[in-house]
Amino acid sequence: MRLFPLSTSLHRRNRIGLLASAAFAIAFFAMAAQAFGYYIEGRGWPGGTITYYSSVYPRAVDRAAAVWNRAGVGVTFPADRAG
């Protein structure tokens, strides 16, 4: 006669459920298609300069361009003050 038949049964069910969930998750992610989130195709931007003019929120746009220019990614944003 077992002292704790219900708790042993629940433990076994929890373990089987956990293993089944883990197997499902592994199968799900193994069969997922590639997303090409960082797939680069086509030609790059011609030249390394993009001129901009902002009549709306000029301080914010200038600040964003300055941050981008300091990043050193090969493309710069000089301001076109003539508008």
pLDDT value at residue 71: 94
- The tally of domains found in the chain comes to 1
Is residue 62 a part of any domain in this protein? yes
Is residue 83 a part of any domain in this protein? no
Q: Which domain holds residue 11?
A: 5-71
Is residue 23 a part of any domain in this protein? yes
Q: Which tokens go with 38?
A: 């960082």
Rounded Cα–Cα distance for residues 77 and 54 (Å)? 12
Is residue 32 a part of any domain in this protein? yes
Is residue 56 a part of any domain in this protein? yes
Is residue 78 a part of any domain in this protein? no
Cβ neighbors of 65 (< 8 A, separation 6 or more) are: 52, 77, 78, 79
**pLDDT below 50 — which residues of the chain?**
none
Is residue 77 a part of any domain in this protein? no
pLDDT value at residue 9: 67
pLDDT value at residue 29: 85
Residue 78 Cα distances to 23, 27, 43, 70, 73, angstroms: 53, 50, 22, 12, 14
Is residue 82 a part of any domain in this protein? no
pLDDT value at residue 22: 92
